[in-house]
Amino acid sequence: MKYNFDEVIDRNHNRSSKYDERIKKFGTMDVIPLWVADMDFKTAQPIIDACEKKAKEGIWGYTSRPASYFEAVQGWEERRKGWKPDTELMSWSLGVVPTMSAIVKLFSEKGDKVMIQTPVYSEFYDVVEAWDREVVENQLVEEDGKWHIDFDDFERKAKECKIFLLCNPHNPLGIVWSKEELKKMADICIANDVLVVSDEIHSDLIFHDKKHTPTASISDEIKDKIVTCVSATKTFNLAGLQASTTIFPNMEMKKTFDRFWQKLEIHRNNAFSSVAMEAAYNEGEEWLEQLLTYIAGNFEYVIDYCAKYIPKIKPNRPDATYLMWLDCRELHMDDQELRKFFIEKAKLGLNEGYTFGRSLSGYMRLNVACPRATLEKALGQLKEAVDAL
Ligand SMILES: Cc1ncc(COP(=O)(O)O)c(C=O)c1O
């Protein structure tokens, strides 16, 4: 089946936080929303069919989680990433962020330090600070638009930390970490008894012939020390169904995690989420391949447009995610001026760079998982606003 990603879908009645929360986030509805990481595309037809079938059953009582769900996760990881995680060590949860929050709570103490690599998805700060743990930043270092890890700093800080939250691949920089980089980080963590939590939610969204390496697949020694978080929700635009899978290194940790959710009485999935996720993993590949081609085209469109018409704004070329990192430093605005400029002059709703790295200034994150026509309009507005400066 051929999917049409050019179709502009009106999401105004979609109960979408990306659209409905514009006032809350930007103080106005008059912006094109290109912020939170969900897509303006309909998901794959087999997922829609599976949910329709479930809807027509008309009974959505307390829901079981069949073995076929975990087998679908395993099959997907094996087929697409060459890694066969053990279904016995998998747990269901409501999402990767709730999972990471629970892990920080369960496997560290008040006052402990947790390392993150900034700029990074802002909830990495939140899930640490929520439990009165201290964030330790291993800042990624930029040189000529390329970002890399400062391993000396990483090693020094790992010695103080209890947990390392790894974003693999990386949001917002779109970096696909190499096997060597991952091994080096994991080895340092193991040597210093730091638990690694590998957030691999973006690992299906990979471009430019790069290859995602699941951190736990590197060696048996590393596998025994890593918690991996995966989900089909980013890949197939299902975030509203709230579902993810966590793969533990051992049964003891898995049981601790499962008990936590049981205590909160949040241990069942809603009736639609496992159905949708299973259909995605088993039947979604055709859609995903077409999506990746379309998003790669959007990356090039933004890069070409900015080079030609808005040279003061320099976008990266992400190898992962559908999020672009815009270097706006040549506009010479402070953070509040830049935020106001995007909202009030360009009429665009993006994420501010400083929310991903608190000491960073002059960057914005652009979500390009939208029809090309939306991007054309957005970039036209941005060009006009920059021209008027
Ligand atoms: C790196 C990363 N982890 C987790 C999430 C959200 O995960 P969930 O919706 O499963 O809580 C996002 C969403 O943007 C993300 O970018």
Mean pLDDT of 124-153: 97
Mean pLDDT of 216-224: 95
Convert the pLDDT of each residue in 231-274 to its tens digit.
Answer: 999 999 999 999 999 999 999 999 999 999 999 988 888 899 99
The pLDDT, as a whole number, for residue 155 is 98
- Look at ligand 1, atom 14, and give the residue with the nearest C-alpha: 37
**How much distance in Å is there from the Cα of 322 to the middle of ligand 1?**
13
The region, left, alpha or beta by phi > 0 then psi within -120 to 50, assigned to residue 174 is left
Which residues have C-beta within 8 Å of that of residue 21, sequence separation ≥ 6?
Answer: none
Query: At 327, which amino acid appears?
Result: D
Ligand 1 touching residue 73 (CB < 6 A) = no
- Look at ligand 1, atom 13, and give the residue with the nearest C-alpha: 37
**How much distance in Å is there from the Cα of 17 to the middle of ligand 1?**
14
**How much distance in Å is there from the Cα of 173 to the middle of ligand 1?**
14
Domain 17-44+285-387 fold = Aspartate Aminotransferase, domain 1 (3.90.1150)
Q: How confident is the model at residue 31 (pLDDT cuts 50, 70, 90)?
A: very high
State yes or no: pLDDT of 41 exceeds 90: yes
The pLDDT, as a whole number, for residue 265 is 87
CA distance 172 to 99: 20
Mean pLDDT of 73-82: 98
DSSP codes, 50-73: HHHHHHHH----S----HHHHHHH
The domain 60-283: what is its CATH number? Answer: 3.40.640.10
227: nearest Cα among 357, 85, 369:
85
**How much distance in Å is there from the Cα of 116 to the middle of ligand 1?**
15
The pLDDT, as a whole number, for residue 145 is 87
Number of H-type helices and E-type strands within the chain: 15, 15
State yes or no: pLDDT of 209 exceeds 90: yes
Q: Which of 219-228, 230-239, 264-273, 323-332 has the lowest mean pLDDT?
A: 264-273
Mean pLDDT of 275-287: 98
**How much distance in Å is there from the Cα of 97 to the middle of ligand 1?**
6
| Most informative mutation of 17, 73, 121, 356 for ligand 1 (most atoms within 8 A of CB) | 121
The pLDDT, as a whole number, for residue 268 is 83
| Most informative mutation of 99, 234, 270, 365 for ligand 1 (most atoms within 8 A of CB) | 234
Under 8 Å between Cβ of 186 and 180: no
Residue 17: enclosing H or E segment and its boundaries? helix 17-20
Mean pLDDT of the chain: 97
Under 8 Å between Cβ of 361 and 331: no
242: nearest Cα among 214, 211, 201, 209:
201
Ligand 1 touching residue 356 (CB < 6 A) = no
CA distance 163 to 103: 9
The pLDDT, as a whole number, for residue 289 is 98
Percentage of the chain exceeding pLDDT 90: 97
Ligand 1 touching residue 231 (CB < 6 A) = yes
The pLDDT, as a whole number, for residue 371 is 98
Cβ-based neighbour number of residue 311 at 10 Å: 10
**How much distance in Å is there from the Cα of 234 to the middle of ligand 1?**
7
Convert the pLDDT of each residue in 93-113 to its tens digit.
Answer: 999 999 999 999 999 999 999
Ligand 1 atom having least distance to the Cα of 239: 9
**How much distance in Å is there from the Cα of 96 to the middle of ligand 1?**
6
The pLDDT, as a whole number, for residue 278 is 97
**How much distance in Å is there from the Cα of 382 to the middle of ligand 1?**
27
The pLDDT, as a whole number, for residue 160 is 97
> Could you give the residue range(s) of every CATH 3.40.640.10 domain in the chain?
60-283
Under 8 Å between Cβ of 206 and 296: no
State yes or no: pLDDT of 345 exceeds 90: yes
| Most informative mutation of 201, 245, 273, 367 for ligand 1 (most atoms within 8 A of CB) | 201
Residue 79: enclosing H or E segment and its boundaries? helix 67-81
The pLDDT, as a whole number, for residue 369 is 98
CA distance 146 to 137: 19
CA distance 229 to 127: 15
> Could you give the residue range(s) of every CATH 3.90.1150.10 domain in the chain?
17-44+285-387
CA distance 354 to 351: 9
Residue 271 burial (C-beta neighbours within 10 Å; 0-12, 13-18, 19+): middle
Strand pairing report for 134-137 and 113-116: parallel
With tokens 């060590």, the residue in question is: 89
Which residues have C-beta within 8 Å of that of residue 149, sequence separation ≥ 6?
Answer: 117, 138, 140, 141, 181, 185
Ligand 1 atom having least distance to the Cα of 167: 1
Ligand 1 atom having least distance to the Cα of 120: 1
The pLDDT, as a whole number, for residue 267 is 82
**How much distance in Å is there from the Cα of 349 to the middle of ligand 1?**
19
Which residues have C-beta within 8 Å of that of residue 355, sequence separation ≥ 6?
Answer: 122
Is 270 or 57 the better-scoring residue by pLDDT?
A: 57
The pLDDT, as a whole number, for residue 185 is 98
Residue 367: enclosing H or E segment and its boundaries? strand 363-367
